[in-house]
Amino acid sequence: MSLSAARLRTMLDELTRQYGVPGAAIAVWAGGELKEAAAGVCNIETKVPVTADTLFQIGSITKLYTAALCLQLVEEGKLDLDKPVRDVIPDFAVADEEVAARVTLRHLLNHTSGIDGDFFKDAGRGEDRIEKYVRLLKDVKQIHPLGQMFSYCNAGFVVAGRMIELATGKTWDKAVRERIAKPLGTPSFSTLPEQAMRHQTAIGHVGQPGALAVTPITYLAQSNAPAGSMPMASASDVIAFARMMMNDGVAANGAPVLAADSVHQMHLRTVTCPPRMNIDAIGLGSFLWDWNGDGHYEVFGHDGSTIGQAAWLRYHTESETAVALLTNGGNGKGLADEMLAAIFSDAAGIQPPEPPAPAAGGMPEVSRLTGIYAKASGTVEVSVKEGGLVALHRAAPDFAALQGTYAVELKTVTETLFVGTMPGYTRPATYHFLEEDDQGRALYLHTGARAHRRVE
């Protein structure tokens, strides 16, 4: 890797300021060596500087750890990817009884259960919190039929966490620390506040870049930990996980964590995403990308987002290059876009493709697109304004602190694909209008990695 540690620090320092990110830490494994850099502050009120050892909330990168735990237990014959969840959790229930009876661990790990997964009810802080959370799912409805498509489902990973607890006889917290963090040699990886407080930690910031405030909510519900609500880690901790995945399941210290076939299963496509989305396909827990356009998936990882913090992990096994970037507010996506492109271009000769560009042609027939699409986290109302389409995002009451209300102008890419940029950000998101209802209107709006079903 020709990008020096000094240049990495300079880039991170410049880009955190450019994108209004209070603080960030990055770790890069390339060319057989680790480089780390940190910039900004852990908290804009205390102004404590971020260091390479600062712990950030890694959000849904945690799903890779939960998936790895599941694969360990499949190796041991204690879990089965394709048997019903009820074989492990006999009283498992969601609103659709047929789904409750048929859904499998594989459906949970590749986000094809169709369960409305943004269900963030707090089930408390005791050691039985994950068990209690799973019981609360009994009234949660379907967004789409079982196995029909990919739609991001946090709740599914909490159910997988409960399956881990029953298969190991330990809480998910203890299982992930003992079976993943310890063999990786990452003792600072923390799943509870009382563990994280032994280290320097970053706090999240909410609001638009330039007008940020420390989040009034430090963590999301602890009962959602297997999906990513709680764990904190340093950037180098996350790189240790990536190095294990690039080394057929063996940690850098020689400790076996996963069988090579389990790594392969996590990297093997199980479902494709809507075309030209910011994720190409899903393995078991893993996001998959084909950056070089050769029809094969060569980049793996996951994104993570919690209240005021965001994280990215990407690794390219062929060149043994991995990047973990952790941020605590502002336009972290803009920062990530530039850092990932620069590092992977330099170290691996590849880089993420550009987002889809708006077409020069006119507007497609809008009557089949306009309407209200919904899921548990809120609604997206698509309407015509000044001759163009606008998506108005409204958060449900339980999600107001995470999202709020905002409007996005949609620009046409194809008849079914649009792009729009959230206020305060630079990277456009994709809006896919999928399938048809009995009136010939789009049945689903797929955006933010989630399907929203038409309700009006």
DSSP code, position 353: P
**Gap between the Cα atoms of 29 and 32, Å rounded:** 7
Q: Which value, to the nearest 10 degrees, does the dihedral of the CA atoms of residues 317, 23, 153, 91 take?
A: 110
Instruction: Tell me how crowded residue 216 is: count the other CB atoms within 10 A of its CB.
Output: 10
Do the beta carbons of residue 84 and residue 120 sit within 8 Å?
no
Phi, psi of 206 (to 5 degrees): -115, 165
Instruction: Tell me how crowded residue 32 is: count the other CB atoms within 10 A of its CB.
Output: 7
E strand segments, 11-163 = 23-30, 33-40, 56-57
- What are the residues whose beta carbons fall under 8 Å from the beta carbon of 7, sequence distance 6 or more? none
Q: Is 455 exposed, middle or buried (0-12, 13-18, 19+ CB in 10 A)?
A: exposed
- What are the residues whose beta carbons fall under 8 Å from the beta carbon of 418, sequence distance 6 or more? 389, 410, 411, 412, 430, 431, 433
Closest by CA to 281, choosing from 264, 299, 263, is: 299
**SS3 assignment, position 336:** helix
Closest by CA to 61, choosing from 178, 259, 226, 283, is: 226
- Residue found under tokens 């409960």: 162
Cβ burial 80-97 (10 Å sphere, 16+ → b, else e):
ebeebbeebbeebbbebe
Structure tokens at 256: 């076996």
Task: Please pick, among 2, 4, 60, 236, the residue that the annotation labels catalytic.
Answer: 60
**SS3 assignment, position 254:** coil
**Gap between the Cα atoms of 124 and 129, Å rounded:** 6
Answer yes or no: 60 catalytic.
Answer: yes
- Catalytically annotated residues: 60
